């Protein structure tokens, strides 16, 4: 059996430490050591995108990375999207998914949100094709993707115009 190693990983601005097997996947560290179960695991071999998180700002499949490789990096999971918001308030992208029916069963949704959130910071005009390319690594068995594209467009429109979402106005 391989020797366990101490890792400390910054997830959503908090440090989570544990002694782990070197082969422990980052997805398993996030779910079982940090207890952040919003990150879902589907295929566990890099195909479905359900496990997508951000590492140093970039979307990464957490089932394709070992926990030890995340040492010293900044990891963001879906739970981090509501950091700093008031109770019950959603991130604008989550709110848009809700309004545009960008999810049904929701299993894939955390992975989509993590893949698509960086588009909220992209100030260029994006075509539908560019949005579809950004979500090409995530599989959804329910929505057919068009509503997810519409959700991204709505969130971007709101963020760019500085408009408040209905949830923010309540």
Give the footprint of ligand FES on this chain (CB under 6 A): 41-44, 46-51, 61, 63, 103-108, 140-143
Least Å from the CB of residue 124 to ligand FES: 27
Return the structure tokens found at 108. Answer: 């894939």
Nearer of residues 122 and 133 to ligand FES, judged by Cβ: 133
Backbone angles phi, psi at 102, to 5 degrees: -80, 5
- Rounded Cα distance between 142 and 140, Å, is 6
Between the CA of residue 137 and those of 47, 72, 81, 119, 140, what are the distances in Å?
Answer: 7, 26, 20, 15, 10
Return the structure tokens found at 42. Answer: 């589907």
Nearer of residues 9 and 114 to ligand FES, judged by Cβ: 114
Q: What letter would DSSP give residue 161?
A: H
Nearer of residues 103 and 152 to ligand FES, judged by Cβ: 103
Least Å from the CB of residue 17 to ligand FES: 24
Nearer of residues 13 and 144 to ligand FES, judged by Cβ: 144
Least Å from the CB of residue 27 to ligand FES: 6
């Amino acid at each position: 059996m391989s020797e366990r190693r101490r890792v400390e990983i910054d997830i959503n601005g908090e440090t989570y430490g544990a002694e782990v097997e070197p082969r422990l996947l980052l997805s398993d560290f996030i779910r079982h050591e940090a207890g952040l179960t919003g990150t879902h695991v589907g295929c566990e071999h890099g195909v479905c995108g359900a496990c997508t998180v951000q590492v140093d700002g970039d979307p990464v499949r957490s089932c394709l990375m070992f926990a030890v490789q995340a040492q010293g990096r900044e990891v963001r999971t879906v739970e981090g999207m509501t950091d700093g918001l008031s109770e019950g308030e959603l991130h604008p992208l989550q709110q848009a998914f809700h309004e545009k029916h960008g999810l049904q069963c929701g299993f894939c949704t955390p992975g989509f949100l993590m893949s698509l959130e960086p588009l909220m910071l992209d100030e260029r005009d994006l075509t539908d094709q560019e949005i579809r390319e950004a979500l090409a690594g995530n599989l959804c068995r329910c929505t057919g993707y068009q509503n997810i594209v519409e959700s991204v467009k709505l969130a971007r429109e709101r963020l760019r115009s500085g408009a408040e979402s209905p949830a923010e106005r309540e």
